[in-house]
């Protein structure tokens, strides 16, 4: 089981590489297992709505988010559309002070995200708002080396 990387590790602030046909399938499988565990069970006595692979020390474009009662693993997720309207809310991050600090973060209210599902390797487009919309934006930020602490 990989540990969740904390705020002072420079790996959190680097760009994640896209997942390609050359990416080690066993590595992906291991990461998805660990990330799914954290999203399902939380960590540091906190619930966890999403996690990115870079937070487990592997900077590749892979995230897992809570999706209804399931945990959905997404490869190379990207935002393809927004409603253009942002609103502020409090967020914490598993990689910042063990999710004990809250930050005010503006996010789009509605986002459309395209990705490849890890489970069946099929493309998926998700239109999301509320917690899922915010979580997707938070995790996709991680892939660009952006945390809620250094977000402009
Ligand atoms: Zn985070």
Domain ranges for the chain, please list them.
Answer: 10-143
Contact 81, 29 (CB under 8 A): no
Kindly report, residue by residue over 43-96, the tens digit of the pLDDT.
999 999 999 999 999 999 999 999 999 999 999 999 999 999 999 999 999 999
Q: Can you tell me whether residue 25 is helix, strand or coil?
A: helix
Kindly report, residue by residue over 134-143, the tens digit of the pLDDT.
999 999 999 9
CATH class, range 10-143: alpha beta
**pLDDT attached to residue 141:** 98
Distance 64 CA to ligand 1 centre (A): 11
**pLDDT attached to residue 46:** 94
Indicate the helix (H) or strand (E) that contains 90.
strand 86-91
Distance 112 CA to ligand 1 centre (A): 19
Rounded CA-CA distance 35/24 in Å is 17
Contact 46, 66 (CB under 8 A): no
The reported pTM is 0.97
Q: What percent of the chain has pLDDT over 90?
A: 98
Catalytic residues: 139
Distance 141 CA to ligand 1 centre (A): 8
Q: Does the structure show a pLDDT above 90 at 118? A: yes
Total residue count of the chain as it appears in this document: 152
Residue with tokens 């399902």: 40
């Amino acid at each position: 089981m990989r540990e969740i990387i904390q705020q002072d590790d420079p790996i959190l602030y680097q760009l994640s590489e896209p997942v390609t046909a050359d990416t080690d399938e066993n590595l992906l499988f291991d990461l998805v297992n660990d990330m799914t565990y954290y999203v399902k069970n939380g960590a540091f006595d906190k619930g966890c709505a999403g996690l990115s692979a870079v937070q487990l020390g592997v900077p590749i474009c892979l995230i897992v988010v809570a999706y209804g009662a399931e945990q959905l693993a997404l490869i190379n997720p990207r935002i393809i559309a927004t409603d253009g309207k942002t609103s502020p809310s409090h967020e914490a991050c598993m990689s910042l002070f063990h999710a004990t600090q809250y930050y005010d973060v503006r996010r789009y209210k509605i986002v459309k995200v395209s990705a490849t599902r890890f489970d069946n390797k099929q493309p998926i487009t998700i239109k999301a708002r509320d917690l899922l919309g915010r979580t997707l934006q938070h995790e996709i930020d991680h892939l660009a080396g952006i945390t809620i602490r250094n977000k402009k």
